[in-house]
């Protein structure tokens, strides 16, 4: 599974506008379907106030934040699973991402055409979910037919099929109803059996409600419709005004951006929330290294042990790992200096079995 987020949705819902504001990358934006053909890729900094606080307490020459990749994928239409529009290219691109940001249009604007000529978030979501389900259904049906034939090859194959076929049947039935496979809430053992199928509808989804200027601070019936759908399938929702975010990204200084945000009633860019949500939804967490030469945020997967985290910095660190000096950034914020953290007994020496925590500040000892 890719360590990135794919931005998807029907044509003309604001995907490329949001992508351009998010990444400051020149994605083409136009008032016609299929403006985006080849996926646009952009790398963004992960907003993290903890790194800013660390810099205040441990002055340094360089500051390097964690980064995350976003991919702007071509708009999908009904029939995409059969190759309509840019369906085949869309499906190939979306299989490569780790988490999906599904942009849904939640505003009225007669100057911006809607591919279905009406604003109906539930229908828009259903269109994409059905097409993705149909694409996965073909994959699962093919595997089921192939797997069933293996039963003729002996007892071992039959034993394997006793595990695999019931899971495939369950997923197949769900997809035939046009529902995403993730709505089944499958156990880890079942997911392992499906891993090599790379099913699109098993990927986590964040619904991005693209609203107008009023919708960012006021109740919106379209947003509530999306929330209802997301809640039913256990997905996340975030509200963004693509137009506002586009205007913010065009401002040159942080002071100008702050003043603009205050004028529209926002504390920070809604896109910051999207970046953090996508990052965490994919199971990404952050540890820090800090010193006079460099303060840096490093990305690791939740569940990593200390040697694996060391390997994020350099493979030699993992191979020659001896131990790690560890304390959490919250301890630094409380005690204000590393020396006081040590005096308080909060700095620990951890070995190979230590599970790294989000927000840890680490110094690795290794030998190569």
Structural domains in the chain, CATH included, are 4-281 (3.40.50.300), 303-366 (3.10.20.30)
Spatial distance between the Cα atoms of 349 and 368, rounded to a whole number of angstroms: 20
- Does position 83 have pLDDT exceeding 70, yes or no? no
Instruction: Give the predicted TM-score (pTM) of the model.
Output: 0.88
**Region 108-132: what's the mean pLDDT?**
82
Please give the helix or strand (H or E) that residue 321 lies within, else none: strand 321-328
- Does position 30 have pLDDT exceeding 70, yes or no? no
**Region 36-59: what's the mean pLDDT?**
87
* Predicted confidence (pLDDT) per residue in 307-364, tens digit: 999 999 999 999 999 999 999 999 999 999 999 999 999 999 999 999 999 999 999 9
Distances (CA, A) of 265 to 13, 208, 213, 218: 24, 19, 10, 11
Neighbours of 120 (CB within 10 A): 16
CA end-to-end span of the chain, whole Å?
Answer: 31
- Alpha helices (H) in 48-120, listed in sequence order: 49-57, 87-94
Report the pLDDT value the prediction gives residue 289, as an integer from 0 to 100.
Answer: 98
Report the residue count for the chain.
368
- Does position 291 have pLDDT exceeding 60, yes or no? yes
Three-state DSSP at 48 gives: coil
- Does position 55 have pLDDT exceeding 60, yes or no? yes
> Does residue 112 contact residue 16 with C-beta atoms inside 8 Å?
no
- Does position 112 have pLDDT exceeding 90, yes or no? no
Please give the helix or strand (H or E) that residue 236 lies within, else none: strand 236-240
């Amino acid at each position: 599974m890719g360590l990135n987020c794919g931005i998807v949705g029907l044509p003309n819902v604001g995907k490329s506008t949001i992508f351009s504001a998010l990444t400051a990358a020149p994605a083409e934006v136009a008032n016609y379907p299929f403006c985006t053909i080849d996926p646009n890729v952009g790398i963004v900094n992960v907003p993290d106030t903890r790194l800013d606080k660390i810099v205040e307490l441990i002055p340094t020459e360089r500051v390097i934040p964690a980064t995350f990749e976003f991919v702007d994928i071509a708009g999908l239409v009904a029939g995409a699973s059969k190759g309509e529009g840019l369906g085949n290219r869309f499906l190939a691109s979306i299989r490569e991402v780790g988490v999906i940001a599904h942009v849904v249009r939640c505003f009225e604007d007669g100057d911006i055409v809607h591919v279905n000529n009406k604003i109906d978030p539930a229908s828009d979501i259903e269109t994409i979910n059905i097409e993705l389900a149909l694409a996965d259904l073909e994959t699962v049906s093919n595997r089921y037919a192939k797997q069933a034939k293996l039963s003729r090859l002996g007892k071992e194959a039959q034993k394997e099929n006793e595990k695999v076929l019931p899971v495939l049947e369950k997923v197949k039935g769900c997809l035939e109803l046009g529902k995403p496979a993730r709505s089944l809430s499958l156990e880890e053992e079942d997911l392992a059996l499906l891993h090599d199928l790379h099913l699109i509808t098993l990927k986590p989804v964040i619904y991005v409600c693209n609203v107008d200027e009023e919708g960012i601070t006021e109740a919106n019936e379209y947003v509530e419709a999306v929330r209802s759908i997301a809640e039913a399938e256990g997905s996340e929702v975030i509200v963004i005004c693509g137009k506002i975010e586009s205007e913010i990204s065009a401002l040159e200084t942080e002071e100008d951006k702050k003043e603009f945000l205050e004028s529209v009633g926002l504390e920070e860019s809604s896109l910051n929330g999207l970046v953090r949500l996508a990052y965490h939804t994919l199971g990404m967490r952050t540890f820090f290294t800090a010193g006079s030469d460099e303060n840096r945020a490093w990305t690791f997967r939740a569940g990593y042990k200390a040697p694996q985290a060391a390997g994020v910095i350099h493979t030699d660190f993992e191979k020659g790992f001896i131990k790690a000096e560890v304390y959490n950034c919250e301890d630094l914020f409380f005690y204000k200096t590393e020396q006081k953290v040590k005096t308080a007994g909060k700095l620990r020496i951890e070995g190979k079995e230590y599970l790294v925590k989000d927000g840890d500040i680490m110094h690795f000892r290794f030998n190569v």
